[in-house]
Structure 1
Amino acid sequence: QSWASFSGSSSHSLRYFTTIVSEPGQEVPQFFSVGYVDDQEVTSYDAKARRDLPKAPWMRKRNSQVAWNWEQIFRVGLGTLLGYYNQSGGAHTLQWMYGCEMRKDRSKVGYFQYGYDGRDYLSLDKETLTWTAANVPAQNTKRKWEANHAFLQYSKDYLEKDCIEWLQRYLDYGKETLLRTEKPEVKVTRKEDYDGMETLTCHDGEVWMQDVFHGLVSPNSDGTYYTWRSIKVDPKESEHYKCHMEHDGLPNPVDVAWEEPGESLEGGKEGSGRASNLGLIIGCVLGIIFLIAVMAGIAVYFSE
């Protein structure tokens, strides 16, 4: 039986996170925005220059867009929400998150979400062209935005078309990094425990994308990731356990079992089993998706 299973995919995502703070501190600017392609930061808003600056070398192929208008819009928006919540002072935050994803099965998803003071405020249902309000103050924004049918349709079109086109463009610009494929060494180790049981551990030494559904993920120095999973078993049953691996680079899934033991440094016996070909691949392409938001090009109306 397979006790550890890792699977990989070729999903890719474009995400933006934008925040404005009513009372910024010395280390926190009033307005800041960060963009990611998959898990790599690719653009960041410079408050002094008032424009987006590339954070990845390949992003220099794209002309930086001035984000000053967005900063102005968010200033007005934050002031509007302070009125909705009947707040006259204190530190408050407005967050705007959006993005899109191309999945391995060729399906596409997109999302807009707004938050206020760390809580949900408003999110778009692009299938019904409606906004979901998280509380009573958000109902005010919901009514205004749903009355603008052109804005609703534009938001849907952006997520399903423009955002995907930008994602494809960025993947082309940064293909040497973003589409890099590594073949990690996969092995299974065994360690005898003091209670008479054994611990089998499945190791994946080098995964390019930080995407794992179970287990721990740690970065390697070369930008890849390392992960593992363990299970405690009866020594009499250990030969029946295998580590199941899937990856886009493999023609078929691979099951790796523990093989010959050696002496461990901890006094117990430890051994490792590897697939006969050290180039066996585990697939862990991480699609952490997670909060979501909107891209420059969509007008946001935060008016009284």
Structure 2
Amino acid sequence: MSRTFQQPTWDLGMMVPLLLSFLLFLRPVAPLETLAREWGPGRYSLSFLYTGQSKPREGEPSFQAMAYLNDQALFRYDSTRGRAEPLGPWAQLNGVEDWEKESKLQKARGDFFLETLKDAVNYYKDPEAPHTFQGRFGCELQNNVSSGAFWSYAYDGSDFITFNQSIPAWVTLDPAAGITKSKWEAEAEYLQRSKAYLEEECPAMLRRYLHLGKHLLDRRDAPSVTITNHVAPGHQRWFKCRADEFYPPGITLRWTRAGSPLEPEFRGDMLPSGSGTYQSWVVVRVSLKDGSPLACHVEHSTRAETVTVQWDTEEGTVIQ
């Protein structure tokens, strides 16, 4: 594919105000277990995930945005609905946002986001193929003190451009990002104003959200644990230990037989349950000839000690 540079045109006067509120969260997507340890007591994050598509499939939006407080979805917006909608328990709180105003802001951000995607597509002269553009932005507080803020883009799943606060400057990670860097650094005050947003305005937003709904992030729901089993080939059984409805994320499930650890056959990812809590599971395969006691052990931050659930053939649910 030819990758000849093609200089696009843009309206800098329209673009710069949008850029000032368009801050992307520079951080790899971490496992929920890791994020749970990072948040911990007194640690909170506000982050946004933006996705744009050059050729969305029928019925799909070309732009969509999600806002998160820690792991909890705060609101969503997409170019098809055209409105920002609060999610989960945050929809029940008054004064979280002026949602009409937020809808207009997300519309402006989405338009600008797709223009940046178009620049990259034009640079590579590949308009017929579908392409994606993604970004994350946000900030963190530790004990009410700003502890980090981040900004990055990716094009077709690869790093595109990131913001370095300490310089400050945009750092290009893709040849096409040179166009973006030139646009965003064309105004002398823009970099300093962007840095100030990351270090001052975003933390202020996060503090306001915490004032309204910190109790939602600090809640602690202990897991419910169930054991099921079914027959496996060769005079064996699969035993599944499942934990449901726990929060915060981060849990350990393990099996033992007669006190000795068993190697799991399958371990399920920790997944949202749809009610603001999480679920996880682990499966072992054991011989029917071995009648030794079988137990599942569960460790979660809501319990000071490990919870042990013994398998009881009289009370357990058997799935044939």
Q: CA deviation at 1:20?
A: 3.1
| Structure 1 alignment gaps of length 5 or more | 268-304
Aligned mate of 1:137, from 161, 176, 186: 176
Indicate the SS of the match to 1:168.
helix
Structure 1 residue 115 corresponds to structure 2 residue 169:
no
Sequence identity (%):
27
Q: What is the TM-score when the length of structure 1 is the normalising length?
A: 0.62
Matched with 2:256 is: none
Matched with 2:29 is: none
Residues 20-55 of structure 1: CA deviation (Å, up to 9, x unaligned): 333343212233322222333322225367443333
Residues 186-224 of structure 1: CA deviation (Å, up to 9, x unaligned): 799999x99999999876443123445896324557542
The answer (yes or no) to whether the contact 2:60–2:80 under 8 Å persists in 1 is no
Distance of aligned partners of 1:238 and 1:169 in 2 relative to their CA distance in 1, 3 Å threshold: farther
Indicate the SS of the match to 1:83.
helix
Indicate the SS of the match to 1:174.
helix
The answer (yes or no) to whether the contact 1:124–1:131 under 8 Å persists in 2 is yes
Indicate the SS of the match to 1:120.
strand
Question: Larger RCO: Structure 1 or Structure 2 (Cα < 8 Å, ≥ 6 residues apart)?
Answer: 1
Aligned mate of 2:75, from 31, 35, 43: 43
Structure 1 residue 70 corresponds to structure 2 residue 109:
yes
Distance of aligned partners of 1:266 and 1:15 in 2 relative to their CA distance in 1, 3 Å threshold: same
Indicate the SS of the match to 1:216.
coil
Q: CA deviation at 1:130?
A: 3.3
The answer (yes or no) to whether the contact 2:121–2:127 under 8 Å persists in 1 is yes
Q: CA–CA distance in 1 between the matches of 2:78 and 2:235? A: 59
Q: CA–CA distance in 1 between the matches of 2:270 and 2:147? A: 26
Matched with 1:299 is: none
Distance of aligned partners of 1:212 and 1:132 in 2 relative to their CA distance in 1, 3 Å threshold: farther
Distance of aligned partners of 1:29 and 1:222 in 2 relative to their CA distance in 1, 3 Å threshold: closer
| Structure 2 alignment gaps of length 5 or more | 1-32, 253-266
Aligned mate of 2:84, from 52, 64, 68: 52
Q: CA–CA distance in 1 between the matches of 2:272 and 2:235? A: 33
Q: CA–CA distance in 2 between the matches of 1:139 and 1:69? A: 23
Matched with 1:16 is: 48
The answer (yes or no) to whether the contact 1:98–1:113 under 8 Å persists in 2 is yes
Residues 234-271 of structure 1: CA deviation (Å, up to 9, x unaligned): x9x999x9957352x56x5x24456686555559xxxx
The answer (yes or no) to whether the contact 1:188–1:201 under 8 Å persists in 2 is yes
The answer (yes or no) to whether the contact 1:42–1:59 under 8 Å persists in 2 is no
Q: CA–CA distance in 1 between the matches of 2:311 and 2:81? A: 60
Indicate the SS of the match to 1:160.
helix
Q: CA–CA distance in 1 between the matches of 2:57 and 2:237? A: 53
Q: What is the TM-score when the length of structure 2 is the normalising length?
A: 0.59
Structure 1 residue 225 corresponds to structure 2 residue 278:
yes
How many residue pairs get aligned? The number is 260
Distance of aligned partners of 1:49 and 1:262 in 2 relative to their CA distance in 1, 3 Å threshold: closer
Q: How does 1:194-213 map to 2 (within 5 A)?
A: 204-212=243-251
Q: CA deviation at 1:173?
A: 2.6
Matched with 1:182 is: 221
Indicate the SS of the match to 2:222.
coil
CA RMSD of aligned residues (A): 4.5
The answer (yes or no) to whether the contact 2:45–2:141 under 8 Å persists in 1 is yes
The answer (yes or no) to whether the contact 1:188–1:257 under 8 Å persists in 2 is no
